Structures are given as C-alpha cells and as structure tokens.
Amino acid sequence: MQDSPWLGNEETEGDTETLVVEKTLRARPWSIIVHDDPVSLMSYVTHVFQKVFGYSQDRAERHMMEVHTKGRSMVWTGPREKAEIFAGKLQSFHLRTTLEQSSE
C-alpha cells in the first residue's frame, strides 16, 4: 500500500499549504459641508460652487438652495487630502465650511 498524506503518515516539507487572505481596508470618504451664513449672497455662493468644483449652473444652484433652506449642504465627498484642498478654496471665498468623515 502506498503512503498517503490523508492517512496520517508523516508529513514531509511542502505538504502544508497556507491560505493567505488579503483584505484591503478602504479609508472612509470625507464630505465637505457648506453652512449658511447671513452675509454671502445666493448668487455669490452659486458662483463659488461653479468656480471651485466646476459644477453646472443648475447643480450649483441646487446646493446653494439647500444651504439657504436647510442651513447646510454636502457639496462634495471623496478622499481626505482632496477634501482639505477644496475646503481651503471654499474658505478662501469666505464660505463657512467643515469636513465630516463618512460613517460608511
């Protein structure tokens, strides 16, 4: 009878396999929130969204109206480094801006 590794005979080097499972953790995205303020004109806020993000007139106006009616709008979501750059640009236009990390 031939030796079989399944019958409990002695193991030789190389009979053992190791299963490696790689799991890549993705960083949670960051969101840019623009808050309402009593100073900025609605047309100005719309213009800033178009200039900073390249949004269409329609999309920029939708975000501006959300800021105006709800007090805030999540205007962009993505990696932290890019979010910090966009937030800095918005703040340079004197818009009240915060960053929030997504809970996903």
Is 98 in a helix, a strand, or coil? strand
Q: What percent of the chain is modeled with pLDDT above 90?
A: 71
Q: Say how far apart CA 14 and CA 74 lie, in whole Å.
A: 55
Provide the terminal-to-terminal Cα distance of the chain, rounded to the nearest Å. 58
Domain range 40-104, CATH architecture: 2-Layer Sandwich (3.30)
Instruction: Using pLDDT thresholds of 50, 70 and 90, give the confidence band for residue 12.
Output: low
Rounded to two decimals, the pTM is 0.74
Q: For 69-86, what is the mean pLDDT?
A: 97
Helices (H), the chain: 42-53, 57-70, 80-92
The pLDDT mean for the chain works out to 88
Q: What is the pLDDT of residues 17-45, one digit of tens each?
A: 777 777 777 789 999 999 999 999 999 99
Per-residue pLDDT, 14: 61
Is residue 31 within 8 Å of residue 82, measured between CB atoms?
A: no
